[in-house]
Structure 1
Amino acid sequence: MQTIQSYLNEDIGLSDASLSKLIVSVITIFILWLIRIIVLRIVWRQNKNIKVRYQWKRALSIIVPLIGIVMIIGIWMHAFKQFGAFLGLFSAGLAIALKDPLTNLAAWFFITFRKPFVVGDRIQIGEHAGDVIDIRLFQFTILEIGNWVDADQSTGRIIHIPNGKVLLESQANYSTAFEYIWNEIPVLLTFESNWEKAKSILQQIINQHAENISKGAEKDIFEASKNYMIYYKNLTPIIYTKVKDSGVELTMRYLCNPRKRRGSEDEIWESILIQFKQHTDIDFAYPTTRFYTSDNNSKT
């Protein structure tokens, strides 16, 4: 111990006071780290809820370092005063060298207090979309959806995104304020089909699957309007008619939960196939080519 102290005093140039501060700082960091580990182990043993565990871990990851910074500053406050000019120049150089980490840290404060999204939200930022599963000081993590997988379902990939992206890229939040999205299913029929009957059938199907959601969405919109200028005149499912090159297109528009979009489409399409099968005057359209003979009276 005496040899280490002599080395620090003579070779490194630390005074006894500075050496004492250094030792106290190291002990403080170790004790705070130990307290964090003990608290997490107690939480892990007494609670099996994944969400509660994550909230404890995230809270300790923020609170413990902040307490440590305050305590270290208190220990070294007198020394900081003596080296004020040097620290000013050093801080300026450090700010330039650590521009990106500092930007990510500033963005973390923005995410924490402004809350453009929270853990559990489904978001899209830039080209990436997914469910937020973690938010840290320098990056947040999403469980990716979409990409090569249809209907916004999970790909299984975890993507880590620097916090600074929220200050540079636009963000779309599927969950905050209004927890529904509009989904559309186009159904293309031949010109010869009885499209009026088909539209009536589709309206019945979409009402059966989505009318209850529309009623629940009214309350959510009322709550969201307290913070955002959100206004919808009509929330009930509707069918739009449009003429295309190869037939009559009937588009079903309805509200659904973002995480249930593919499931709702599956149920609706099964109902459509079952219902249309019972009617011989309704046929799906598909790309075809017609050839006419020279007399213009027959075709194939």
Structure 2
Amino acid sequence: MYKTWLKTISEISHISPEALENLITSTIVVLCYLGVRLGFKRYIRGKINSKKLAEVATEVIPSLLRLLLLGALLGIWLSGQASVASFFAVPDDAMEKVVASIYVYLAYIAGKLLGEAFIGIRYHLDVDKQYSVRKNIQISISILCVAALFKIWIATTADFSTYLGLLSAGIAIALQDVIVSLVGWIYLLTVRPFKIGDRIEIDGNRGDITDIKLLQFSMLETGNWIQAEQPTGRILSFPNSFVFRNMIANYNTGFDYIFAEMPIMVTFESNWHKSLTILEDIVKVEIGQENADASWQIHRAARTMRLSFDNFEPKVFTSVADSGVVLTLRFLCRVREKRVVEERVWKRVLDAFAKHDDIDFAYPTQRYYVNHIEGKAEAGGPAAAGAPVPT
């Protein structure tokens, strides 16, 4: 009955029975897809109360359903590979490889979607973990798909040898920089001179590493025209080959602290002893609490590298400049908190110095010095204390 009906419609519509049967089957599959999708939406609204699961379900599962639909339609229309191959005028074995490659690509997309579902459920609030797990999943799926494509298209050893020879000749001539970048990528994954989130300086540029790809790495630029190494908002990208050609300074290797210095200048007439005491008290109060963690991190790092930090305590050094006495605060602070710490210390310094009339900040000024009036008695100044001041 079905075949008779199918043959009659085929004669009327001038469509081959095979194509007509595929069309009917495809229509049924599409209707089933629409029904499942509609039922799934209603299920989510009524049964899933978790916001996290609802987000994953509404984003990932419909995409998986579309992939299944596409795979089913491809299976229906490509089931007669001989006829499709003859239509496109390609050999049957080549057509089989094309179809298999399409399914590998669909499997690649499905794997990424399942990975996203796993990440969304397992690491819903941990953004850093989401990124690292996502990259690992993508790399793993890509390697598996490339291996599958090699298996499909390079079936024999002879084919592989010919392909490898031609590929090697082309690479040796034209892709030298690409090869170095690929080796650089392997170097970044194995030796790990820096990782995602580290702040580095390379080729005169500073920034926080945001991504490491097969051929390049990227970082969020800091400093430049922005004070105190704050982010500029620009993303800088470098080929992985840069790691072999430039020095890399890593702010986070071993421990997450750097030494910072704040020079504060007071006038020669100020009570610099009192200023020194005030600054020592401020820096101990504001920075002292960080020293315990910094000391622990540095001692831990000293197990694997030679570090010669003898004293981690904040300190104030004294020196003299043209315009006054320079009191330099030296202390440890976290890499990304330098500006915040300096602002906090400066506020305390300004408040403290404002309370003392015998302390003034120094700045570039010009004054005349009259030695016989202001100088010391032994250096050509007034003959003795209390002597009349010459006019």
TM-score w.r.t. the length of structure 2 is 0.69
Give the 3 Å change call, closer, same or farther, for CA 29–80 of structure 1 in structure 2.
Answer: farther
2:277 matches 1:208: no
Residue range with higher mean Cα deviation, 225-234 or 15-24: 15-24
Deviation of the 1:112 alpha carbon:
0.9
Deviations 1:106-144 (A, max 9, x none): 111111111111111111111221111222111222111
Q: Aligned runs of 1:72-151 on 2, under 5 Å?
A: 72-82=149-159, 84-85=161-162, 87-151=164-228
2:300 matches 1:220: no
In structure 2, the residue matched to 1:264 is 341
Deviation of the 1:78 alpha carbon:
3.0
Q: Which residue of 64, 85, 92 maps to 1:16?
A: 92
In structure 2, the residue matched to 1:6 is 86
Deviation of the 1:226 alpha carbon:
1.8
Residue range with higher mean Cα deviation, 115-124 or 283-292: 283-292
Give the 3 Å change call, closer, same or farther, for CA 80–27 of structure 1 in structure 2.
Answer: farther
Deviation of the 1:95 alpha carbon:
3.5
**SS at the partner of 1:159?**
strand
Provide the C-alpha distance between the structure 2 equivalents of 1:154 and 1:199, rounded to a whole number of angstroms.
33
Provide the C-alpha distance between the structure 2 equivalents of 1:84 and 1:112, rounded to a whole number of angstroms.
29
Q: Aligned runs of 1:145-160 on 2, under 5 Å?
A: 145-160=222-237
Provide the C-alpha distance between the structure 2 equivalents of 1:292 and 1:283, rounded to a whole number of angstroms.
19
**Residue-pair matches, total:** 293
Provide the C-alpha distance between the structure 1 equivalents of 2:329 and 2:97, rounded to a whole number of angstroms.
70
Q: Which residue of 107, 114, 137 maps to 1:31?
A: 107
Give the 3 Å change call, closer, same or farther, for CA 7–102 of structure 1 in structure 2.
Answer: farther
Provide the C-alpha distance between the structure 2 equivalents of 1:113 and 1:180, rounded to a whole number of angstroms.
24
Residue range with higher mean Cα deviation, 184-193 or 100-109: 100-109
Residues 235 and 255 of structure 1 are in contact (CA less than 8 Å); yes or no, is this contact kept in structure 2?
A: yes
Deviation of the 1:263 alpha carbon:
0.7
After superposition, the CA RMSD in angstroms is 2.3
- Structure 1 unmatched ranges of 5 or more: none
Identity across the alignment (%)? 35
Provide the C-alpha distance between the structure 1 equivalents of 2:254 and 2:146, rounded to a whole number of angstroms.
36
In structure 2, the residue matched to 1:183 is 260
2:139 matches 1:59: no
Give the 3 Å change call, closer, same or farther, for CA 96–226 of structure 1 in structure 2.
Answer: farther
Amino acid at match of 2:101: S
Deviation of the 1:284 alpha carbon:
0.9
**SS at the partner of 1:287?**
coil
In structure 1, the residue matched to 2:331 is 254
**SS at the partner of 1:78?**
coil
Residues 141 and 161 of structure 1 are in contact (CA less than 8 Å); yes or no, is this contact kept in structure 2?
A: yes
Q: Which residue of 279, 293, 307 maps to 1:230?
A: 307
Amino acid at match of 1:211: G
Provide the C-alpha distance between the structure 2 equivalents of 1:97 and 1:122, rounded to a whole number of angstroms.
33
Residue range with higher mean Cα deviation, 153-162 or 20-29: 20-29
Provide the C-alpha distance between the structure 1 equivalents of 2:237 and 2:263, rounded to a whole number of angstroms.
35
Provide the C-alpha distance between the structure 1 equivalents of 2:353 and 2:369, rounded to a whole number of angstroms.
30
Which one has a bigger Cα radius of gyration?
2
Residues 129 and 146 of structure 1 are in contact (CA less than 8 Å); yes or no, is this contact kept in structure 2?
A: yes
Provide the C-alpha distance between the structure 1 equivalents of 2:163 and 2:131, rounded to a whole number of angstroms.
41
Deviations 1:34-62 (A, max 9, x none): 22123314533662432232123211221
Deviation of the 1:26 alpha carbon:
3.0
Residues 119 and 134 of structure 2 are in contact (CA less than 8 Å); yes or no, is this contact kept in structure 1?
A: no
2:320 matches 1:243: yes
Amino acid at match of 1:64: I
Residue range with higher mean Cα deviation, 248-257 or 112-121: 112-121
Deviation of the 1:262 alpha carbon:
0.5
TM-score w.r.t. the length of structure 1 is 0.89
Residues 144 and 158 of structure 1 are in contact (CA less than 8 Å); yes or no, is this contact kept in structure 2?
A: yes
Give the 3 Å change call, closer, same or farther, for CA 86–159 of structure 1 in structure 2.
Answer: closer
Residues 122 and 131 of structure 1 are in contact (CA less than 8 Å); yes or no, is this contact kept in structure 2?
A: yes
Deviation of the 1:297 alpha carbon:
5.7
2:249 matches 1:172: yes
In structure 1, the residue matched to 2:12 is none
Residues 115 and 134 of structure 2 are in contact (CA less than 8 Å); yes or no, is this contact kept in structure 1?
A: no
Residues 247 and 285 of structure 1 are in contact (CA less than 8 Å); yes or no, is this contact kept in structure 2?
A: yes
Residues 221 and 231 of structure 1 are in contact (CA less than 8 Å); yes or no, is this contact kept in structure 2?
A: no
Residue range with higher mean Cα deviation, 53-62 or 274-283: 53-62
Deviation of the 1:32 alpha carbon:
1.8
Provide the C-alpha distance between the structure 1 equivalents of 2:206 and 2:269, rounded to a whole number of angstroms.
42
Residues 207 and 219 of structure 2 are in contact (CA less than 8 Å); yes or no, is this contact kept in structure 1?
A: yes
